[in-house]
């Protein structure tokens, strides 16, 4: 298949998928249950999520593997299943995507902190490498390292993907607004810093995911574009910041609200747009329709 | 260095996270004495442990908490500062246990059932400890049983609950109820990004704070 970055060179805006974690919870994933265990135990439910995004019109879908690294699987007693769970995750999404849609193998943070001496860079690298190989063997077209807040962890993950697979590598970090036109990850990384370091590490697409909704992505994309006007940018936005209402978590942005910012995010310089926590096939479907009408 | 200069220098080491002489961080303090060396020197010079705690360590952590709240520094700077403080505290511990410096009270803290986020909880634990409280940290994924057990072992302790997920903040409610049923006199404070003052009131907790400094103010108000 043609690399995603090459498709973008043809001036095309691509649409990605929406939430997986919150979708699994809706399908009955219990608190304390490992989301990735469903790849082996309930593959049909996972496949149904993947399919629903293809049906919504997404050009690409992710995999149910965000937390499938050795560190996060350990508390579930699944640390020896890294390869299997990731391979199965990619196979399921591949099945839904067929030959005409792309599969992005999802790789999330380990939850360990390098700077506190929790783990060594080598241990981190190895964990990401094992995950990347499983996803690649399962048929992912690209790997997406996402929701990162520490630049050193992100760089190690990108390198582990680059050096051990033939896949395109995407990396996105999660920013908060910290002032007028200022954005930082929880670990203090700015979009500018991210751009420089990730490009150097070998990422071919970079961007931002999660966070506080679609509107805030405009400023983050602009900040990336200020320092780099060629790298393809991916945005996976939450349906707003989660709030607690009547005993339940809700993500407040409706498909209409999110779609209303899509053209502005594209104008700012984004090339691929999709959703993160709280977004549904309805959100994605409206993004697809809206993006067609934006002037590029 | 006279006593005041030394305390000021120690304050600066904790504020900027200079743990000891060999520590590479922060780069601008490379090769200088850190919290480790300066605390030993202060004790050797005859400065009272209580003075070191009040006039260097606690003041430094106040500054750090303030800068963090203003988004001038981020989690890494906060964590190294806390590490420098803990290093200094190691030297003061013998005086605390000998009773020369009295602890203000006991504080049990944990992240509630189903939730594995511990960065915020750890910061609260470190800063409350820095403010002169004995902290019992129960870790993450802590349910009612474990809290109740700990209260049984630490009579009169104040309890802090942390939750970072809207799916686990609901577990705070049952934990508060269980604790209050068994030990009605227990004071409970809750915190974490998704919770707020009104949620705290709704579930019957006694306090809420949005940051470690707020937790300290609440705790200190109980013993004032
Ligand atoms: C780091 C992080 C993780 C790490 C945690 C590592 C660790 N060891 O803690 C990892 C990667 C493991 C992780 C996992 C998950 N995460 Co997470 N994570 C975060 C992130 C990026 C930062 C949280 C943090 O540490 N903040 C910094 C600290 C210093 O702030 P804080 O915790 O709020 O604490 C401060 C105050 O709240 C207060 N405080 C805290 N506790 C207490 C207690 C008391 C008594 C008091 C007084 C005060 C107080 O003082 C602290 C210092 O100022 C947030 C997003 C964000 N930017 O907030 C998401 C976030 C919290 N995670 C989220 C999610 C969904 C998850 C996962 C479910 C994802 C998944 N599908 O795997 C899992 C859940 C795992 C589990 N069962 O707990 C969502 C929660 C959505 C929701 N509201 O429900 C968030 C908000 C991301 C998002 N935008 O959607 N996560
Ligand atoms: Zn998200």
Q: Is the pLDDT of residue A1 over 70?
A: no
Residues of chain B contacting residue A178, judged by C-beta atoms under 8 Å apart: 71
- Ligand 1 atom nearest B68 alpha carbon: 53
**pLDDT tens readout for residues A126-164:** 999 999 999 999 999 999 999 999 999 999 999 999 999
Instruction: Kindly state whether residues B114 and B210 are assigned to the same domain.
Output: yes
Instruction: Kindly state whether residues B110 and B192 are assigned to the same domain.
Output: yes
- Provide the CATH number for the domain around residue B45: 1.10.1240.10
Rounded distance, CA A63 to CA A93, Å? 6
A10 touches chain B (CB under 8 A): no
Long-range contacts of A155-159 (CB under 8 A, 24+ apart): A155/A197, A155/A198, A155/A200, A155/A201, A156/A121, A156/A124, A156/A125, A156/A128, A157/A107, A157/A124, A157/A128, A158/A198, A158/A201, A158/A202, A158/A203, A159/A125, A159/A201, A159/A202
Contact B74 A249 (CB under 8 A): no
Residues of chain A contacting residue B80, judged by C-beta atoms under 8 Å apart: 115
Rounded distance, CA B160 to CA A36, Å? 31
Instruction: Kindly state whether residues B8 and B75 are assigned to the same domain.
Output: yes
Contact B79 A116 (CB under 8 A): yes
Q: Between residues A254 and B118, which one has the greater pLDDT?
A: A254
Residue ending a domain, choose from B64, B98, B132: B98
This prediction has a pTM of 0.83
Instruction: Kindly state whether residues B83 and B112 are assigned to the same domain.
Output: no
Residue ending a domain, choose from B98, B120, B138: B98
Q: Å from A247 to nearest chain B CA?
A: 7
B30 touches chain A (CB under 8 A): no
Closest CA to A205 of A177, A240, A174, A173: A173
> Any idea which residue has 């939450």 for tokens?
A238
Contact B168 A178 (CB under 8 A): no
Evaluate: CB of A216 within 6 angstroms of ligand 1: no
Domains of chain A: 4-294 (3.20.20.330)
Q: Which of residues 146-165 of B touch A (CB under 8 A)?
A: 165
Residue ending a domain, choose from B75, B98, B121: B98
Structural domain for B77, as ranges: 3-98
Quote the number of domains for chain B: 2
Tokens (6 digits) for A243 = 């709030």
Reported confidence tier of residue B132, pLDDT bands at 50, 70, 90: confident
Instruction: Kindly state whether residues B127 and B75 are assigned to the same domain.
Output: no
Identify whether the C-beta of residue B61 lies closer than 8 Å to the C-beta of residue B14.
yes
Instruction: Kindly state whether residues B193 and B144 are assigned to the same domain.
Output: yes
Q: Is the pLDDT of residue B162 over 90?
A: yes
B66 touches chain A (CB under 8 A): no
Reported confidence tier of residue A211, pLDDT bands at 50, 70, 90: very high
ipTM of the complex model: 0.81
Q: Which of B71, B113, B166 sits opposite A249 (nearest CB)?
A: B166
Which residues line ion ligand 2, judged by CB < 5 Å? A 210, 238, 276-277
H or E segment and range at residue B135: strand B134-137
Give the mean model confidence (pLDDT) for residues B42-59. Answer: 92
Instruction: Kindly state whether residues B12 and B116 are assigned to the same domain.
Output: no
Instruction: Kindly state whether residues B78 and B146 are assigned to the same domain.
Output: no
Instruction: Kindly state whether residues B79 and B165 are assigned to the same domain.
Output: no
- The mean of the pLDDT values for chain B is 91
Contact A75 B116 (CB under 8 A): yes
Instruction: Kindly state whether residues B79 and B169 are assigned to the same domain.
Output: no
Q: Å from B18 to nearest chain A CA?
A: 14
C-alpha dist (Å) from residue B32 to A51, A212, B9, B211:
60, 42, 10, 31
Give the mean model confidence (pLDDT) for residues A97-105. Answer: 97
Tokens (6 digits) for B120 = 């915020």
Q: Which of B77, B119, B167 sits opposite A31 (nearest CB)?
A: B167
Q: Nearest C-alpha to atom 37 of ligand 1 is from which residue? A: B192
Q: Is the pLDDT of residue A204 over 80?
A: yes
**pLDDT tens readout for residues A234-243:** 999 999 988 7
Instruction: Kindly state whether residues B121 and B59 are assigned to the same domain.
Output: no
Strands A272-275 and B158-162, by their bridges, are unpaired
Instruction: Kindly state whether residues B129 and B64 are assigned to the same domain.
Output: no
**pLDDT tens readout for residues A166-184:** 999 999 999 999 999 999 9
- Provide the CATH number for the domain around residue B116: 3.40.50.280
Q: Is the pLDDT of residue B102 over 80?
A: no
Give the mean model confidence (pLDDT) for residues A222-240. Answer: 97
């Amino acid at each position: 298949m043609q690399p995603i970055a090459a498709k973008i060179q043809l001036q095309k805006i691509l649409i990605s998928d929406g939430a997986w974690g919150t979708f699994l919870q809706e399908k009955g994933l219990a608190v304390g249950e490992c989301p990735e265990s469903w790849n082996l135990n309930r593959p049909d439910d996972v496949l149904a999520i993947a399919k629903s995004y293809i049906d919504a019109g997404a050009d690409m879908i992710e995999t149910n593997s965000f937390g499938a690294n050795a560190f996060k699987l350990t508390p579930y007693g699944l640390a020896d299943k890294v390869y299997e769970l990731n391979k199965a995750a990619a196979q399921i999404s591949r099945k839904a995507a067929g030959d005409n849609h792309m599969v992005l193998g999802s790789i999330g943070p380990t939850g360990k902190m390098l700077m506190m001496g929790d783990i060594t860079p080598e241990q981190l690298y190895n964990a990401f490498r094992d995950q990347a190989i499983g996803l690649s063997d399962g048929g992912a077209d690209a790997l997406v390292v996402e929701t990162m807040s520490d630049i050193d962890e992100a760089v190690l993950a990108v390198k582990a993907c680059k050096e051990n697979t033939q896949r395109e590598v995407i990396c996105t970090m999660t920013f908060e607004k910290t002032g007028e036109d200022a954005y930082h990850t929880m670990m203090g990384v700015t979009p500018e810093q991210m751009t420089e370091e990730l490009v150097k590490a070998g990422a071919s697409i970079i961007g931002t995911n999660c966070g506080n909704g679609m509107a805030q992505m405009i400023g983050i994309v602009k900040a990336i574009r200020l320092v780099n006007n060629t790298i393809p940018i991916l945005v996976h936005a939450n349906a707003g910041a989660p709030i607690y209402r009547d005993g339940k978590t809700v993500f407040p942005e409706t498909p209409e609200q999110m779609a209303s910012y899509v053209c502005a995010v594209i104008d700012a310089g984004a090339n691929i747009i999709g959703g993160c926590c709280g977004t549904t096939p309805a959100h994605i479907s409206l993004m697809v329709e809206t993006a067609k009408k934006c002037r590029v | 260095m006279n006593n005041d200069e030394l305390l000021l220098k120690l304050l600066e080491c904790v504020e900027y996270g200079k743990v000891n002489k060999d520590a590479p961080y922060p780069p601008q303090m490379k090769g200088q004495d850190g919290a480790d060396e300066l605390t030993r020197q202060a004790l050797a010079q005859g400065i009272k442990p209580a003075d070191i705690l009040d006039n260097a360590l606690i003041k430094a952590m106040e500054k750090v908490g303030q800068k963090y709240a203003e988004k001038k520094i981020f989690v890494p700077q906060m964590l190294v500062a806390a590490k420098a403080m803990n290093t200094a505290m190691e030297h003061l511990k013998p005086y605390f246990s000998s009773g020369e410096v009295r602890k203000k009270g006991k504080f049990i803290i944990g992240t509630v059932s189903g939730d594995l986020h511990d960065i915020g909880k750890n910061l609260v634990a470190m800063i409350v400890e820095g403010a002169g409280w004995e902290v019992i940290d129960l870790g993450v994924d802590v349910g009612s049983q474990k809290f109740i057990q700990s209260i049984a072992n630490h009579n009169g302790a104040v309890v802090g609950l942390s939750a970072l997920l809207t799916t686990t903040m609901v577990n705070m409610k049952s934990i508060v109820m269980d604790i209050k049923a068994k030990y009605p006199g227990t004071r409970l404070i809750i915190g974490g990004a998704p919770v707020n003052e009104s949620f705290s009131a709704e579930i019957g907790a006694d306090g809420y704070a949005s940051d470690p400094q707020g937790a300290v103010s609440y705790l200190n108000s109980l013993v004032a």
